[in-house]
């Protein structure tokens, strides 16, 4: 049983299951997730597309749906007793599900650790009581669990081996009718409905400012699988600048970009692995932001900065996420070659720290070990 609640978890769970099937052809997968997991052959009992929200206020708004999903997953664990439950990210939801599974005698493998290095480090002990093994994707996470005697394994980041284009830059530029003579700026507004609502208007307003400075500038918006055409259309219809919307070609398109404006999250690591200069933006509900400021222990929100241990890309969070602040940063990337090159060099160090790949394969091996033990 595999359970993921967000777009990135859906991708990671799908990759893991496909690798597991290579090693155990008769394995059967059930659970909660999205399109990628379904395409991988997992029997989706609950589509998580509408419950991938972040923040206290947002969770409260979707509490009913989240509660129904959790109740269903707990029922499946109790009644169908899978040989192994693999919880993929989606921390609070999966913590409660893991607790239920443990009480039912079902083994639990938790994939992608809660960010205990960022806030609430005491959660390590709580997770240790409801899981059999923790699989972490950053090497610096291992000691947190080892200190508490919790079985942990560093499997590497699942993106490390997956982030690469499948088509040449020249070919993609031609197919998308992008002019090689003008700068290309990517827009990644996120994979959640509330992110689109809060951040896409900011990106479009920033694009409008940049068009005044660069008349030949081109914008490409990368649409996440979990985001509907309708959600984007509401904002794009009133936009004053042309934006090409592309779905399902993330890495092919990223290589065409000279700069990117992106929401904070997994996408920032994908961009880092592609070596493209970026500006990271994010906004939360005011109450969620205030609570977060009191709890979070790290000075950055962008994953490339956290992995590097220093600020290598600029962050525009909450009240700083304004077009008049973001546009000058993108302009600097497009006009100051030394600045852009230094950022690219710093992003290469992030890529080195994330490892050489094989994360999905190592996760499949770990899952196989636990399934064999069960048999």
Closest CA to 316 of 281, 283, 264: 281
Backbone angles phi, psi at 178, to 5 degrees: -95, 135
Q: Percent of the chain having pLDDT more than 90?
A: 67
- pLDDT at position 297 is 66
Taking the whole predicted model, whether its pTM rises above 0.85 is answered as: no
Is it true that 2-161+356-374 and 169-353 share their CATH fold? yes
How many whole angstroms separate alpha carbon 21 and alpha carbon 37? 13
Q: Is the per-residue pLDDT at 229 higher than 90?
A: no
Half-sphere exposure (CA, 13 Å, Cβ side) for 93? 31
Handedness of CA 135, 137, 142, 148 (dihedral sign): negative
- pLDDT at position 361 is 92
Confidence grade of residue 299 (pLDDT, cut at 50, 70, 90): confident
CA angle at 328 for the pair 323 and 330, rounded to the nearest 5°: 90
Distance of CA 36 to the CA centre of its chain: 14
The CATH code of the domain at 169-353 is 3.40.50.2000
- Integer CA distances (angstroms), 141 to 70, 91, 115, 347, in order: 27, 15, 9, 20
- pLDDT at position 309 is 87
- pLDDT at position 118 is 63
Bigger pLDDT: 290 or 54? Answer: 290
- pLDDT at position 179 is 93
Domains of the chain, by residue range, sit at 2-161+356-374, 169-353
Q: Is the per-residue pLDDT at 25 higher than 90?
A: yes
- pLDDT at position 116 is 76
The pLDDT tens digits of the residues spanning 61-81 come to: 767 889 999 999 999 999 999
Q: Is the per-residue pLDDT at 337 higher than 90?
A: yes
The pLDDT tens digits of the residues spanning 198-226 come to: 999 999 999 999 999 999 999 999 998 88
Residues 116-149 as b/e (b if ≥16 CB within 10 A, e otherwise) read beeeeeebbeebbebbbbbbbbbeebeebbeeee
Q: What CATH class has 2-161+356-374?
A: alpha beta
The pLDDT tens digits of the residues spanning 143-178 come to: 989 999 999 999 988 888 788 999 999 999 999 999
Q: Give the least confident one: 10-14, 73-77, 238-242, 367-371.
A: 238-242
């Amino acid at each position: 049983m595999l359970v993921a609640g967000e777009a990135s978890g859906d991708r990671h769970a799908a990759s893991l299951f496909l690798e597991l099937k290579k090693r155990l052809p008769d394995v059967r997968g059930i659970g909660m997730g999205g399109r990628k997991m379904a395409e991988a052959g997992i029997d989706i009992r609950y589509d998580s597309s509408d419950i991938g929200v972040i923040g206290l206020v947002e969770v409260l708004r979707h509490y009913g749906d989240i509660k129904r999903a959790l109740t269903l997953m707990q029922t499946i664990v109790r009644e169908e007793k899978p040989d192994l439950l693999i919880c993929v990210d989606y921390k609070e939801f999966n913590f409660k599900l893991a607790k239920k599974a443990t009480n039912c005698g079902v083994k639990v493998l938790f994939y992608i650790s809660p960010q205990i290095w960022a806030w609430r480090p005491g959660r390590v002990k709580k997770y240790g009581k409801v899981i059999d093994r923790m699989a972490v994707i950053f090497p610096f996470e291992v000691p947190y669990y080892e200190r508490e005697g919790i079985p942990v394994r560093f499997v590497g980041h699942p993106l490390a081996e997956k982030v690469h284009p499948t088509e040449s830059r020249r070919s993609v530029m031609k197919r998308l009718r992008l002019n090689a003579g003008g700068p290309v700026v990517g827009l990644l507004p996120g994979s959640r409905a509330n992110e689109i609502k809060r951040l896409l208007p900011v990106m479009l307003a920033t694009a409008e400012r940049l068009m005044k400075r660069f008349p030949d500038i081109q914008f490409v918006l990368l649409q996440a699988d979990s985001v509907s055409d309708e959600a984007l259309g509401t904002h794009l219809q009133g936009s004053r600048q042309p934006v090409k919307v592309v779905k399902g070609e993330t890495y092919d398109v990223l290589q065409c970009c000279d700069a990117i404006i992106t929401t904070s999250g997994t996408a920032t690591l994908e961009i880092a692995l592609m070596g493209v200069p970026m500006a990271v933006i994010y906004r939360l509900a005011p109450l969620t932001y205030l609570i977060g400021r009191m709890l979070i222990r790290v000075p950055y929100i962008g994953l490339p900065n956290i992995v590097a241990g220093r600020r290598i890309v600029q962050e525009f969070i909450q009240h700083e996420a304004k077009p008049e602040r973001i546009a000058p940063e993108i302009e600097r990337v497009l006009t100051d070659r030394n600045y852009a090159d230094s950022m690219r060099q710093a992003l290469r160090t992030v890529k080195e720290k994330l490892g050489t790949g094989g994360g999905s394969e190592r996760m499949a091996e770990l899952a196989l070990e636990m399934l064999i033990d069960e048999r």
